[in-house]
Structure 1
Amino acid sequence: MSTIETPTIKRTPLTLIIGLTGGILFCLVYEAFQFFNFIEKKTLMPSWSFLAPSWQKGIVAHVIWWGLICLISVIWALLYQLMIKKSDTMWPGIFINIVILAVIFGVFGWWLEMGPDITKLKHHASISIACLFILHGAFVGLSISYDEPYDPESDKETKSQ
């Protein structure tokens, strides 16, 4: 009786694609929130002091920000795969992104005064940003943790029929 070889997916390239896709989705939803005036334009996007003032308001600043978010998302996905992949749910990803959100607003915004200040945001902006981080955590966490179960016995039953 021959054995059926199951196709294998190499996890690291898949994780890179998941991280990149998560970063792109994060940026697209962020831009949609800006378009519909849920958040202000510069809520999470830093001011790029190394760029000329005319470039800071143009597409160059957005391209740099998108690239930075995608890079951070890929690194986050790789770290998630290395440390928490065995989890079968999306909850660790959501929890980690909530911690990252708290660090961004708490440490960088309030304590170091380098990032966004949560006390100056409107309530719908802070809720939108929290939902954005939760969505990203759920997407990356579930996409990496999900393994489709494979049962070789079901193939044997299908062949014999």
Structure 2
Amino acid sequence: MRRVNNRGNQKDKTSLIPKTISIGFFAGLIWGTIAALAGYFNFTKVTPKSFVLRSWLQTTWSDQWLGEVISILIISLLSIGLAFLYYIILKKFPGILPGILTGIVLWFIVFWLFEPIFTNIPPFYMLDSDTVVTTVCLFILYSVFIGYSISFAYQQHIDENN
């Protein structure tokens, strides 16, 4: 039997893996950069370099702009993993509510559960209110970006292949 490919009648079945990778990477890049800018303008005392580099390296370069850029790139790579996790667990839930809840849970994981790992960051009860509010909002926006983008791409994928 010969198989005929009707490209004009049928759309190509695409994988969501490349979209998930790009969504995760750009979420980390965009929201990591915004977090660094929030630290620069003193909205928060906690920036990406506080987590990624300054908790383990106490060198002068890690406290400057180079440390911030490297930290943002590392966060972008780690965000790919979070995007895959979101894709596996929550891709079928549309809207922003799953992203908001994911952001709140992620904030609690980072600031409460992983608090002993990040020695450069003060405990939750010692953070000022500007830092708490800013970081909670950034985590929520970051997660909503990932969640809404992945659920939208998933729904688009389902619509294309039906």
Q: Output the TM-score relative to the length of structure 1.
A: 0.77
**Aligned 1:9-158 pairs, distance under 5 A:** 9-40=14-45, 45-46=50-51, 47=54, 49-50=56-57, 53-109=59-115, 114=119, 115-146=121-152, 147-148=155-156, 150=159
State which structure, 1 or 2, has the greater radius of gyration over its C-alpha atoms.
Answer: 1
Q: CA RMSD in A?
A: 2.7
Q: 1:62 to 1:112 in 2, by over 3 A?
A: closer
Q: Which runs of 5+ in 1 are unaligned?
A: 153-161
Q: Which SS does the other structure have where 2:110 is aligned?
A: helix
Identity %: 26
Distance 2:38 2:79 in 1: 19
CA distance, structure 2, for counterparts of residue 113 and residue 75 of structure 1: 20
TM-score, normalised to structure 2, is 0.77
Aligned pairs, how many? Answer: 149
Provide structure 2 residue ranges, at least 5 long, that are not aligned to the other structure: 1-5
- The equivalent of 2:3 in structure 1 is none
Within 2, Cα distance between the matches of 1:82 and 1:151? Answer: 20
> Aligned with 2:93: secondary structure?
coil
